[in-house]
Each structure stands twice: as C-alpha cells, then as structure tokens.
C-alpha cells in the first residue's frame, strides 16, 4: 500500500482527469492522420507519432490509477516528539542546516523546494534514516536539529 498525503491524492485525481481529457482529445488527431495519407497505416509516420503520444499519456494514467487504487491516506501527525510522515525537519551537519519535508510513499513534487523545505518521500534513503528519530539523534545524514508540524499547505 502507498501512504499518500491528502495533497498528493488530490494532485493525482486532478492529473488523472487531465490525462483522460488529453487522451480523449487525440480522437480527431487520429482521424486526421489516418486520412491525410494515401499510404497504409503502418507506413504513416504522423499516425505513429499520435499513437506514441497516446501510449505515453496512457502509461502515466495507468501508473497514477494504480497508485490511487493502492493507497491509504495519511493524516497530519499530531505528535512532534519524533520524525513522522508529514513533518518538516531540519538536519545539521558540519555547521550547515537543511530542512526537509517528509511526504508519503509518493509525492508529485519530490526534490523541489516547497515552503522552505526539500520534499522527500518516505521511501527515500534520507527519510528511512530519520523516521522515528528525535531531536539530537545522529543519522548518517547529520543530527536531527528540529522537528515541526508542516504548514497546512504541505499537508
């Protein structure tokens, strides 16, 4: 099962709708490319291009549907004593501090800076090393120096 934050589930639902529309909108393009050439369909490069586009869209659609159907929601963590999914944390090493947001098993904006923190999934090596740690505990990546509840925009 995939653990998803509500914001990531919503993003998947919106993206699935966009993909359905884009796939449906390829219908007229298929009609056009099949009728623009006197050659057979297997010698028709424009047809191949539209078919490839449809395949890519459908692959993304299928993957997102699979994640959605095999996911469970994660609620905003109530406690802040240890690092949990949905927390914004800071790690200090060699005098430098970096902030991270621990998302669920899948997130649409991994590695992006959002609200002052780099988004990492719970499956990343960093998250696996820090989940369950408390302030002051050492990890391979440094010392957990702060744990905070993420803003409602992150959850």
Report the share of the chain in percent with pLDDT over 70: 90
Q: State residue 114's pLDDT score.
A: 83
Q: How far apart are CA 17 and CA 69, in angstroms?
A: 15
What CATH number is associated with residue 42?
1.10.287
Q: Per-residue pLDDT tens for 46-95?
A: 888 899 999 999 999 999 999 999 999 887 767 688 899 989 999 999 99
C-beta separation of 44 from 32 below 8 A: no
Q: State residue 39's pLDDT score.
A: 57
Q: How far apart are CA 150 and CA 110, in angstroms?
A: 16
Tokens 């120096």 found at: 145
> Rounded to two decimals, what is the model's pTM?
0.82
Paired residues of 113 in beta bridges: 118
Total of domains in the chain: 2
- How many residues in total does the chain contain? 155
48 and 96 both lie in a single domain: no
What average pLDDT does the chain have? Answer: 88
For the ranges 22-26, 36-40, 104-108, 128-132, the lowest mean pLDDT is seen at 36-40
- 25-61 burial, b at 16+ Cβ within 10 Å, e below that, comes to ebeebeeebeeeeeeeeeebeebeebbeebeebeebb
Q: Is it the case that residue 42 has pLDDT exceeding 70?
A: no
What CATH number is associated with residue 144?
3.10.50
Q: State residue 155's pLDDT score.
A: 58
Token pair for residue 37? 């050439």
7 and 67 both lie in a single domain: yes
Q: State residue 37's pLDDT score.
A: 59
Which of 143, 145, 4, 139 is closest to 88 using CA atoms? Answer: 145
């Amino acid at each position: 099962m995939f653990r998803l934050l509500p914001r990531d589930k919503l993003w998947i639902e919106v993206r699935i709708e966009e993909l359905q529309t884009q796939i449906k909108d390829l219908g007229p393009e298929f009609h056009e490319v099949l009728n623009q050439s006197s050659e057979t369909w297997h010698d028709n490069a424009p047809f191949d291009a539209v078919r490839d586009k449809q395949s890519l869209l459908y692959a993304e659609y299928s993957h997102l549907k699979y994640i959605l159907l095999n996911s469970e929601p994660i609620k905003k963590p109530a406690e802040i004593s240890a690092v949990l999914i949905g927390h914004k944390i800071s790690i200090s090493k060699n005098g430098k501090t970096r902030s991270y947001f621990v998302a669920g098993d899948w997130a649409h904006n991994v590695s992006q800076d959002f609200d002052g923190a780099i988004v990492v999934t719970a499956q990343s090596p960093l998250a696996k090393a820090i989940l369950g740690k408390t302030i002051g505990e050492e990890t391979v990546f440094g010392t957990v120096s702060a744990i905070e509840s993420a803003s409602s925009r992150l959850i």
